[in-house]
Structure 1
Amino acid sequence: MILDHRGLEPPQPMMRTLAALAKLQPGETLTIINDRRPMFLYEQLDELGYKHETIEREDGSFQITITKG
């Protein structure tokens, strides 16, 4: 699943991401695209045991792939 959050103001991207993650089964992934690096989301992901990888895209946005542990 891919969620494109470009153009959304905080906290909408984080709220949408956490809601989508709650529906994942262990081992499934979610990819999000944000206008900015989601620093507060990283803290939540670490606390909840999710693995995440961030790539800065050519247009300046950030693509984060999150895997449920």
Structure 2
Amino acid sequence: MTIPQPKNEILLDTRGLPPPEPLELVLEALSNLQQHQCLRMLVDREPRPLYTILDGNNFHYETTTSADYRYELLIWHKS
């Protein structure tokens, strides 16, 4: 599993947006994500429904939580 380089990273900051906007925006961004790119999503709540979508659509992801309970996801295509 190889994470694409930071220069190929797209940032999607959805903090402060009410549901379902973060999910809608990330799905749109993923539909345009190229094989060599990764998407970094910043979000206020854990996007549990997104995990199922990612698992079913050939994506890898890593989730980290900050001290203020915000989430950061790094998403990329499975090779």
TM bucket (normalised to shorter chain) is: over 0.9
In the TM superposition, structure 1's runs of 4+ consecutive aligned residues that sit over 6 Å from their partners are none
Aligned to 2:20: 11
**What is the CA–CA distance in structure 2 between the aligned matches of 1:4 and 1:59, rounded to whole Å?**
16
Aligned pair count reads 69
- Computed over aligned residues only, the root mean square deviation of the Cα atoms, in angstroms, reads 0.9
Larger Rg belongs to: 2
TM-score normalised over the length of structure 2: 0.82
The residue identity in structure 1 corresponding to 2:50 is L
TM-score w.r.t. length of structure 1: 0.93
Query: Kindly, what percent of the aligned residue pairs are identical?
Result: 36
Q: Which runs of 5+ in 2 are unaligned?
A: 1-9
Q: 2:61 aligns with which of 52, 56, 69?
A: 52
Partner of 2:34: 25
Contact conserved, 1:21 with 1:68, CA < 8 A, in 2? no
